[in-house]
Structure formats: structure tokens, C-alpha cells
């Protein structure tokens, strides 16, 4: 049996290629299908089947494009109501691909159609060898049940019973989830990307929460914020996304052309905080490509508007497109030719953000000269924060910016820099204020400097 785990940074997503003698199966593919074609080719196997454990919420899957390019069949629970060509499986149903026997169990909870696939390697014997657990059971956690607010109590209850079905599969069976630490699909995910049923049964807190009422109460509290694009991605995955290979190629726009498009187009600047702060196009979103670009792009960018990218260098175009396509932002029409150097040389107006150190921040807070907004997640804020700071995760600035408008400058901070850059750019765009501040180094620098925390 051949086996490859494929990790997508930024999303902390795990997909898999598992092979028999002549063919292989791809499990929970990301949208970039070329990587699976290359893996299959390297193993000298054809892709015969594609398995989806559920309709993923945090990214757009490549299952339909991969099926179109290989002729593979897509297997998914009939509970998904999938609108693409597929084989709909009932609870407990089995199918065989080459020397691999798959058995699907309906395990609703994270989503209504969530499922797990138990795999036996028939070359070795009929006993289960591994399980693809999707986002039902994760390493160290279970999938959050609150993505459908109207039925979250029902899903939390179903998740409790789904875990009972998984924990008896067999202690020696290897466990391979769809996400690891860094994903917003759970609360306390481990950085380990695989485990065994026995290890999780012994150490995973989600499997030890009893009775059901306590489990439900625990799993509906303290969950990380659910991004806006989660429902959009689920809907796209139910229908099947357009093939990336068929999307229009972004073209170069001159500064003069971009100038005429500023009002109706989204300008997405992928440079880092210092470069963006020094000078950027009016109304641009600051989304550092080196930060959690994909998640926050999906979270805050309106999906119905065309996008023009501002890049540090042309090598950044491919990863920027990949990140946007992963969250269903397909309408990327082009990029600023020559970048900010060309824009500056044209003499067009720019905007900027003031950047200050944590030491200057402390001095100005002591003098009550500014408003400080902490843009980290609630779990990070609860762990510690700067005295007198206001908590508002970066995406919330879209709706809360008016609370802080006034004569005082507004400073934004996160742990390192990527989220406060986004928050500051949104504040600048929405409020039209000129005195917006980035705190460079973030809360990490504040702690390293020995400054007080709550």
C-alpha cells in the first residue's frame, strides 16, 4: 500500500493519496489538483477514486476538476445532497478500489453530512488498517458543531454519538484527519497530523467528555470565530467548483488603468506590514502573503467584486492566486504592472500608516493619546492582553470601526503583524481617518520588552 499525506499551509488542511497495485484514491483534495496528478504519476498509479469526508467549509475542494481530468469516481455520503456526478453512500456501505476496501460511516456533528472512511489493505488482510476521519475526530479534538447556528445543539448531540461509533473501530487503527493545529475547524487541535484510535481514546478530551449534556455544553462554548466564507465554500463544494485550469489568466494593468478602477475593484496588497505602511494604493486591503493570507482573504473580501493584486515581486503571483482560489475568490482580473514603484513613479496619490514600536505605544497609552485595538482571536486575548486595550478580531473592524472614530489616533496590534495590518487597512478604508497606527512587533514584542499585561 502506498500512502502520501499532503499538507496545505495556511489552512492546516490534510489530504491524502492512498494506493494499491495499479490505482489510487485521493481523499479530501485541495483545489490545486496538479499535486495529486504528480503524486500518482510518481507512484505509477492511476487515480481511480476520490473520497470526500464532508462538504468542507474552510476551503474549496478540487474533487470535481480532479474527476474530470482523470475519470475517477467521487464517493461521498448521500446525506451531502451533492449536485455533481458522484456515488452516494449509505451508512456502513463498502466499496473496493484495487486492493483497498473502504467502509463509510455516517458521523454527523461537525457538518450534517460528515462521515469517516475505514480502510482495509486487502493485501494484508480484512482488518481495518486506518481511518480517514475528516473533521469529525481530529488529533486532540473533535470538529466544531457550531457552523450551522440554527441546528448547532442538534449537531453537537449528533457529534457525541458519532464519536462513539469511531472510538470502537480498534485501538491499533491509524487515524488521519482533514485538519491540524491552525485550522478554525476545531478548538484545541494538536500539531500532530496523525494518531491512532487508541491514543485518541486515551488522551483526546473530546472522547472523554460525558455525559452527552456536558459534551454539548462544552462544544458550544469558546469556539474560535467562524469566518464568513465557511458557508460560501460549503455551497461551492456541494455544487463543485470551476476548474482552476479554465479560469481567466490575470493580466497586467498599468498604473493609469488601475487608477480608473479604484472605485469598483478590490485592491489587494500582498506586501508586508512595513512596505504597506510606507505607501499603498488608496482603499487597498493589506493582506500579507506571508501571513494567514488565504483564511483572511476568504473572511473579509467581498466575493462578487473583481480583484487586482499589488505584489512585491512577480514570483508572488502564483501563491496569491492559489490562496484566493482556495477560498472561492476566482474573480482575480489582474495585477499592478511594476508594483508600487511604478505607481509612485506615475505620481498618483498614496495612503500610509504610521508605524510605532511597543515602547512608544506604552508612552502614548500612559498619556491617553490613542485608542489601542487588539485584533487577535478571543482565545489569545483571554490568555493575556495589554491593559486598556479593546478587543476586536481583525474582521470585526468592518462593522465596529465607527466606535473608534474621533480625534484620537487608533492603533492596531496582534501577536506579530499580519492581522493588525488587515485591521488597520480596513479602518483606513472605512473611516477615511488619517491617523491610523500599526504597532510593529505586536504583543510578542510587548511581552519581550517586559511591559505589563493582564
Q: Is the pLDDT of residue 161 over 90?
A: yes
> Same domain for 198 and 139?
yes
- The confidence score (pLDDT) of residue 52 equals 98
Instruction: Report yes or no on 329 lying in a domain.
Output: yes
> Same domain for 183 and 206?
yes
Judge if the upstream peptide bond of residue 211 is cis by omega within 30 degrees of 0: yes
Instruction: Report yes or no on 163 lying in a domain.
Output: yes
Q: What is the CATH number of the domain that holds 115?
A: 3.60.15.10
Q: Is the pLDDT of residue 306 over 90?
A: yes
**Which residues make Cβ contacts (< 8 Å) with residue 387, sequence separation at least 6?**
365, 452, 453, 454
Q: Is the pLDDT of residue 183 over 80?
A: yes
Average pLDDT over residues 304-328: 96
> Same domain for 137 and 184?
yes
Among 239, 266, 298, residue at a domain's last position: 239
Q: What is the CATH number of the domain that holds 403?
A: 3.40.250.10
Q: Is the pLDDT of residue 185 over 90?
A: no
Q: Is the pLDDT of residue 132 over 90?
A: yes
Average pLDDT value for the chain: 95
User: 191: how many CB neighbours lie within 10 A of its CB?
Assistant: 10
> Same domain for 30 and 107?
yes
Contact in structure between 440 and 288 (CB atoms under 8 Å): no
> Same domain for 50 and 164?
yes
- The confidence score (pLDDT) of residue 342 equals 97
> Same domain for 111 and 157?
yes
Instruction: Report yes or no on 453 lying in a domain.
Output: no
> Same domain for 146 and 261?
no
> Same domain for 42 and 169?
yes
Instruction: Report yes or no on 454 lying in a domain.
Output: no
Q: Is the pLDDT of residue 256 over 90?
A: yes
- The confidence score (pLDDT) of residue 144 equals 93
Among 194, 210, 239, residue at a domain's last position: 239
Report the DSSP beta bridge partners of residue 104. 117
> Same domain for 360 and 229?
no
> Same domain for 435 and 293?
no
* Percent share of the chain, pLDDT over 90: 90
State the Cα–Cα distance between residues 54 and 448, nearest whole angstrom: 42
Q: Is the pLDDT of residue 216 over 90?
A: yes
**Which residues make Cβ contacts (< 8 Å) with residue 284, sequence separation at least 6?**
267, 268, 269, 276, 310, 351, 425, 429
Among 285, 310, 345, residue at a domain's last position: 345
- Tell me the CA distances in angstroms from 424 to 61, 223, 355, 410, one per residue in order: 31, 25, 11, 9
> Same domain for 10 and 142?
yes
Lowest mean pLDDT among 149-153, 234-238, 377-381: 377-381
Domain that holds residue 93: 2-239
Length of the chain: 454
Could you tell me the three cell numbers for 328?
Answer: 472561492
Tell me the pLDDT tens digit for each residue of 403-423: 999 999 999 999 877 899 999
Tell me the pLDDT tens digit for each residue of 85-124: 999 999 999 999 999 999 999 999 999 999 999 999 999 9
**What is the pTM for the complete model shown?**
0.92
Instruction: Report yes or no on 19 lying in a domain.
Output: yes
> Same domain for 137 and 35?
yes
Report how many domains make up the chain. 3
Tell me the pLDDT tens digit for each residue of 1-37: 899 999 998 899 999 999 999 999 999 999 999 999 9
Instruction: Report yes or no on 113 lying in a domain.
Output: yes
Instruction: Report yes or no on 200 lying in a domain.
Output: yes
Instruction: Report yes or no on 24 lying in a domain.
Output: yes
Amino acid at each position: 500500500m502506498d500512502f502520501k499525506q499532503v499538507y496545505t499551509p495556511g489552512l492546516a488542511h490534510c489530504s491524502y493519496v492512498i494506493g494499491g497495485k495499479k490505482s489510487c484514491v485521493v481523499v479530501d483534495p485541495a483545489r490545486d489538483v496538479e499535486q495529486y496528478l504528480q503524486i500518482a504519476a510518481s507512484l505509477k498509479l492511476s487515480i481511480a477514486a476520490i473520497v470526500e469526508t464532508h462538504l468542507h467549509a474552510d476551503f474549496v475542494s478540487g474533487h470535481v476538476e480532479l474527476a474530470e481530468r482523470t475519470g475517477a469516481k467521487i464517493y461521498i455520503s448521500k446525506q451531502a445532497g451533492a449536485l455533481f456526478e458522484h456515488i452516494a453512500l449509505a451508512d456502513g456501505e463498502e466499496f473496493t478500489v484495487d486492493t483497498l476496501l473502504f467502509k463509510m460511516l455516517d458521523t454527523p456533528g461537525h457538518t450534517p453530512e460528515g462521515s469517516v472512511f475505514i480502510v482495509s489493505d486487502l493485501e494484508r488482510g480484512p482488518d481495518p488498517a486506518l481511518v480517514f476521519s475528516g473533521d469529525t475526530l481530529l488529533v486532540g479534538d473533535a470538529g466544531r458543531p457550531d457552523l450551522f447556528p440554527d441546528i448547532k445543539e442538534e449537531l453537537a448531540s449528533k457529534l457525541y454519538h458519532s464519536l462513539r461509533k469511531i472510538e470502537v473501530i480498534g485501538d491499533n487503527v491509524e487515524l488521519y484527519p482533514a485538519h491540524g493545529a491552525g485550522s478554525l475547524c476545531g478548538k484545541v487541535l494538536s500539531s500532530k497530523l496523525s494518531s491512532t484510535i487508541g491514543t485518541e481514546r486515551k488522551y483526546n478530551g473530546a472522547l472523554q467528555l460525558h455525559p452527552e449534556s456536558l459534551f454539548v455544553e462544552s462544544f458550544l462554548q469558546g469556539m474560535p470565530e467562524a469566518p464568513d466564507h465557511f458557508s460560501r465554500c460549503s455551497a461551492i463544494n456541494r455544487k463543485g467548483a470551476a476548474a482552476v485550469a479554465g479560469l481567466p489568466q490575470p493580466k497586467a494593468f498599468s498604473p493609469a488603468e488601475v487608477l480608473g478602477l479604484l472605485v469598483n475593484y478590490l485592491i489587494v496588497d500582498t506586501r508586508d506590514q512595513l512596505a504597506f505602511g510606507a505607501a499603498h494604493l488608496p482603499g487597498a486591503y493589506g493582506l500579507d502573503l506571508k501571513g494567514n493570507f488565504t483564511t483572511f482573504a476568504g473572511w473579509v473580501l467581498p466575493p462578487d467584486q473583481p480583484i487586482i493584486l499589488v505584489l512585491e515581486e512577480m514570483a508572488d503571483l502564483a501563491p496569491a492566486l492559489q490562496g484566493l482560489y482556495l477560498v472561492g475568490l476566482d474573480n482575480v482580473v489582474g495585477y499592478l504592472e511594476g508594483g508600487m514603484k511604478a505607481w509612485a513613479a506615475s505620481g498618483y496619490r498614496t495612503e500610509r500608516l504610521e508605524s510605532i514600536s511597543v515602547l512608544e505605544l506604552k508612552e502614548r497609552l500612559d498619556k491617553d493619546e490613542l485608542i489601542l485595538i487588539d485584533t487577535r482571536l478571543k482565545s489569545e486575548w483571554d490568555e493575556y492582553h495589554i491593559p486598556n486595550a479593546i478587543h476586536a478580531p481583525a474582521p470585526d473592524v468592518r462593522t465596529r470601526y465607527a466606535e473608534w472614530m474621533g480625534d484620537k489616533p487608533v492603533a492596531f496590534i496582534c501577536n506579530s503583524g499580519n492581522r493588525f495590518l488587515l485591521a488597520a487597512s480596513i479602518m483606513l478604508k472605512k473611516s477615511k481617518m488619517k491617523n491610523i497606527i500599526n504597532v510593529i512587533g505586536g504583543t510578542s514584542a510587548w511581552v519581550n520588552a517586559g511591559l505589563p499585561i493582564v
